[in-house]
Every structure is written in structure tokens, then in C-alpha cells.
Amino acid sequence: MKSNPLLADFNTYLGTTPFSEIKPSQFKPAVEKQILLTKQEIDKITGNSLPPTFENTIEALAFSGLYLQQIQNILLNINSAETSDIWQNTTEEILPMLNDFYNEIRQNKALFERISKVYHQTDRKILNDEQQMLLDKTYKDFVRNGALLSNEDQAKLTKIDQQLTSLKLVFNKNVLHETNTFKLHITEFSDLEGLPQSVIEAARQLAQENNKDGWLFSLHAPSYIPFMKYIKNRQLRRQMSLAFGSRAFKTNAYNNEENVLQIARLRLKRARLLGYKTHAQYVLEERMAQTPEAVLSFLDSLYNSAYPKAQEDIKKLAVLAEKDGIEKLEKWDISYYMNILKKQELNLDEEKLQEYFSLETVLEGVFKIANKLYGLQFKENKQIDTYHPEVRSFEVWDDQGQFKAIFYADFFPRPGKRQGAWMTAYKGQWQKDGKDSRPHISIVTNFSRPSASKPSLLTFNEVTTLFHEFGHALHGMMAQTTYPGLSGTNVYWDFVELPSQIMENWAYEPEALELFAKHYITNENLPSEYLKSLKKSLQFMEGYATTRQLSFGYLDMGWHYLFNPDKVQNVSDYEQQQMAKTQLLPFHHDNNMSVAFSHIFPGGYAAGYYAYKWAEVLDADAFELFKEQGIFNREVAQKFKKLLQSGGTKHPMNLYKDFRGRPPKVDALLKRAGLKA
């Protein structure tokens, strides 16, 4: 019988994950063994007869359970990118075990007693910045997870955490099922009017895969987004839009309404148990914004600039729609008429624009930009094992010949992959005993597949998504810290989007575009008029886009700051109240955002969705320096590289000021978006 690969060091090139050898059944024994070994590491700390010090307590704890963390990463990442019933069942079995174990550690009184002594008695002058940050983070992590509670309250906290874990898994499973289940089947060619040939081919291919004649469209982004943008038949747009908006909101076994209410109630209960009034106050204590009031004030300040512009944007679309006899603009009209308006105002034909952005050349482009800025080189290695044949693997080296990271890229939608795009890590970075353990980083997207006649041609939105996730990946790959818990993207949640969002800026710059924006047949560079149009597009419909983003931020704060469990019984009514001030289009009672809002319910953006706009302030302000000095200026790039390498070793505001020489200003964002009065 084959041995369990999860129970030993990976005997692979550069220690990469041996995906093809790993089976779901191997996780439980591996996790059980690693829990046991991690307990022994903790026992060694608590059983130490010497007085607690930073080294024998804080540092020892920071390096405990590394293999357990790696196994957890592998399981959760596969369950997001290539899941099935057996992977979902395995995750549902393992995750409660892990959560119980981590709660047990954080509620270990002997361990916390040692941590507390180091925290209160250590002379901070003998610790460097990173050590001080680790000490503070470790102490707060224990306190914020119940270390100061009575045994009875700790038991209550553990039960709440168990319930939340289970609810989040069910929430995700329901959204994935509802996304995969719906298909719009079209049999009349005349109904396809407006769609580009590549989208028609992809729909034909999907129909054939499902043993159907005609064309099939799904709710996955590469199918749904172009359908809503191009299809002329308004009734079909309506059908597709309402199907998307009713995911996990129908009267069936996959309805998430009760899960939303339960998660919101439990988060509030958990916060109050720990001494906070709301979940938002609990979360924001460890964010740059610090308080819910500061978040709402920030959202309101942008709202005051954006909403009047949004109303103007909607009026422009309504004028176009009226020419087609549409008296009342609906949400299923927005993408369609926005595309028409874009062609008129910007002279930008998105279908033709796609021809300059084959996935292959865009990927080469981000690699070239990373090389010009940071000296990184990406070498594809097809021998590295992956969890799916479509996943690509790269070795990352620097200009000094030092190995920096493994980079995985998984681009196309599949039934087992959740919606959206994200960056993740299979293995983190840390340094110990002279060894620099390098990270294994992955980006996962749902881009347009190649068709029978064309390669994968990205929409410009997909181009910026690739740049965005690659920015996160750089944060992970360039990590250069001592402790795993402070490495890479282990930073304040409203700072984590800076490295990703700043990368998007290069996608609009002529000097960067000439590196990769080439016609997939002729290899000609992107025409200069398209370059100008792309620059102008930064302000196109930005009032509407900003208001829409703010509506999600208000909804998030509604569920996690303003929520009163005694008064909120209906998810739909409450959502409408929270989004009322940003409402630009008719509300539909058979549609709901909250029940499929994976970012804030199962995801990590609860009470933190504002971070996207917050980070836009940072990225616009930071990129101003690149524009002033040159977008490939190595001196500026070296400063930003230092910020990326530092991870969470310093307070993010200090890291930002080290880079910029001052705190961030909102002016650059308002100017870029055309929202400045």
C-alpha cells in the first residue's frame, strides 16, 4: 500500500506539493498526526522550566505547526479551485478539527500566561521592529480569541466558532451549486444577435459538452459577462440577470437567507462575548481605519463625490435606451448600453480591443514588468506537479540568481472552481537556522477559454484582473521576513489590496502596454487611439462604478455594524434599507446580493469590504510617485519592493510613509476617477 505523502517531507523538486499522489482520504490521518506533533511543540513551550522569553515562547510558537498549516492550505485551496463532493465532504470533516485545535491553543492558559509575561515584562528596546510586531500580534491574537475569558465563556466562543465554520462551508457550497446548475439554452440563431463570434463559439462548445443542440450560456463570468454586455434581446438579458441575482435566494435546499442571518447573529454574539459592541468594532481594531465610524465617514466622503456623477451616468444610458423604446432602465440594461456608450464616447470597441490581449502575451507582459521593476525572472517548468492539467507552474528567480518562489497559474472556469479570482499560498515564506524557506504562490481566475478558432483573448477587465492578482502574488513571492505569520500578505486587511491595485496602473500606461499589447494574428502594437481611449476609460462611468462599489461597503457595514438581530428578520428588506442611498435602479425582490456575497460571509472581508476603495486611495497616491519619476524607475521600484518584502513586520501606515515620504492623500484617486470637483 502506498504511503501517505502528507505524512512526510515532500520529496519533490523545490519541495512542491505532489498533487497527483494526494487523495482526500489521506488528509484526516495527516491532520491528526500534525495536530499531535504541534501539541508536542506547544507542550515543550509550556513545560519549559526557564522563565519565558521572546525566543523560548513567542518565537517558538511562531514556528510551531508549520506542516499542519501547509496541509490545511493544500486542502482549502483544492476545495476552492478543483472541488467535488468528496473534497467538500473532506473539508467539512477536517475544518472543524482544525478550528477546535486552534481554539484549544488560543485558550491554553499555561501558554497564554507565558505570552502575557513576555508581553508585559520584556524591554522593547532589545527587540527589532519585526520582533515587536510579532509580540504584539501574538498577544492580541490570544486576547481577541478568548484568552482572558472564563472557562465557561471560552466554551461558548468555541461553539460559536464551530457553528460559523460549518455555516461558511454551506454558504459557499450553495452558491457554487446554484452557479453551476443554471444554464440558458438558446436554439434560435437570431436570438444571438449582438454577440461576438468568439462568445458564440464558446456557447456552442458548452452546449456540445452538455449533449445539447444550439448554444448554452452559464452564470460563470466568461459566459455571463459578455452575454449581458452584447446580447440585443432584452428578454434574454433579463432572464440571465434575474437568474444570476437569485442564486441561493430561491425556495429550495440551496437558499442562503438563514445562513446570512445566522452568520451575522453569531458574529455579533462572538464580538459581544469578547467585549466589543459589534463585529465591525472587533474587526476594525486591527485595521488601518480602526473604527466603524471612520469607515462610514470614508464611504460617505466618496459617496458625496460619486453619487451626483452616478446619476449623470445613468441618465446617459437612459437616453440611449429610450431610442430602443425602453422607458425604464433596469439592471439588465446597464452592461449593454454601457458598451454602446463606451464605443460612442471613447471610440473603444471592446471586441476589437480583445484581439490585442491574448492571455499568453498578457502573462508575458506582467512577467516583463516584474522583471523591469524588481529583476524577477519566470521560467515555466512543466515537470512540476499540479492539481489539474490546465494549471501552469513557474520557477521565479531574481537577477542575482537566487530562487524566490514557485508560481502557479490556473486561468479557466470549471464546474469545480468557485467564481471570481484570487491569490493564495500553498506554502509560506520564513527564515530559520540560516534557511530561507521560499513561498509557493498561486493565482486562480475564471477567464475566457480559447475557442476552436482563437486563443484565449482577454477582455480589458480580465487584463486588469490578471494584473491585480499578480500584484497580490508579488506580495507573496517577494516576502523576506523571519516569521511565517508576518510574511507576504499577512498584513492589515485594508492594506493587503495596495500591492494588487497598484499593479493595475501599469495596464493603462503606453510604456508598459507596448511590451505586451499586440494583435494575436498580426503582432501589431495596440493603436495609439486605443491607448488614448484606455486612459480616458479610467473616468468612464466612474461615478456609477464607485457608487456601486460603495453600495457593497454600506451593505457590509449594515450586516456587521448596524445589524440588530431583534429587528432584522428579512434579508431582502434589510439589504434594501442598507443600499437605499446608493440605489440607482429598480430593486427586485426576487434578487438578493447578500446571499451570494462570498467576500463578506464565508470570505475574509466581513466589516472590511471598504478596503477596496481605501486601497484605491493608497494605490493612486503611490502610483503618482512612479508617474513623477518614471513608471519603471528602479529607485522608486526598490522602495516599493521594500514595502512588498516587509509583509506585516511594521504598521502599514509606517510602511507606506517609508515608501512615499508622507501619509496618503485622496486627491490622486479623485483626479484619476474624474470625481474631483
How many degrees, rounded to 5, is the angle at CA 454 between CA 451 and CA 456?
A: 75
Decide if 216 is inside a domain.
Answer: yes
Residue 100, in any domain of the structure: yes
Q: Is 628 a catalytic residue?
A: no
Domain end, chosen from 210, 245, 280, is at 245
Are 11 and 114 in the same domain? yes
Q: Pick from 124, 148, 172: which residue ends a domain?
A: 148
Shared domain for 45 and 114, answered yes or no, is yes
Three-state secondary-structure class, residue 196: coil
Q: Which domain holds residue 241?
A: 182-245
605: in domain? no
Establish if 23 belongs to a structural domain. yes
Percent of the chain surpassing pLDDT 90 = 95
- The owner of cell 512540476 is 384
Is 392 contained in some domain? no
Residue 103 sits in the same domain as residue 201 = no
Burial of 150 (C-beta count, 10 Å sphere; 0-12/13-18/19+): exposed
H or E element that contains 372: helix 359-374
Q: 645 lies in a domain?
A: no
Residues 91, 141 within the same domain = yes
CATH for 130: 1.20.1050.40
Flag whether pLDDT at 1 surpasses 60: no
The verdict on 117 and 40 lying in the same domain is yes
Element (H, E) at 668: helix 667-673
Whether residue 143 sits in one domain with residue 50: yes
**Exposed / middle / buried, residue 141 (Cβ in 10 Å: 0-12, 13-18, 19+):** middle
Taking the C-alpha atoms of residue 421 and residue 44, their distance in angstroms, rounded to an integer, is 41
Among 82, 350, 395, 469, the active-site one is 469
Number of structural domains found in the chain:
2
Which one, of 217, 227, 209, lies nearest residue 187 by Cα?
Answer: 217
In a domain, 83, yes or no: yes
pTM of the prediction?
A: 0.89
Looking at 215, 245, 275, the residue that finishes a domain is 245
**Contacts of residue 546, Cβ cutoff 8 Å, sequence gap at least 6:** 302, 305, 306, 309, 310, 613, 673, 675
Within 13 Å, how many C-alpha atoms sit on residue 509's CB side?
A: 19
What is the tens place of the pLDDT at every residue in 580-602? 999 999 999 999 999 999 999 99
Residue 350 has pLDDT above 90, yes or no: no
Residues 132 and 191 in one domain: no
**Based on the domain organization, do 137 and 196 belong to the same domain?**
no
Which whole number is the average pLDDT over 508-530? Answer: 96
15 and 61 co-located in one domain: yes
pLDDT higher than 80, residue 152: yes
Q: How far apart are CA 79 and CA 311, in angstroms?
A: 41
Maximum C-alpha span of the chain? 82
- Evaluate whether residue 36 is within a structural domain: yes
Q: For residue range 393-449, what is the model confidence (pLDDT) as tens digits? A: 999 999 999 999 999 999 999 989 988 999 999 999 999 999 999 999 999 999 989
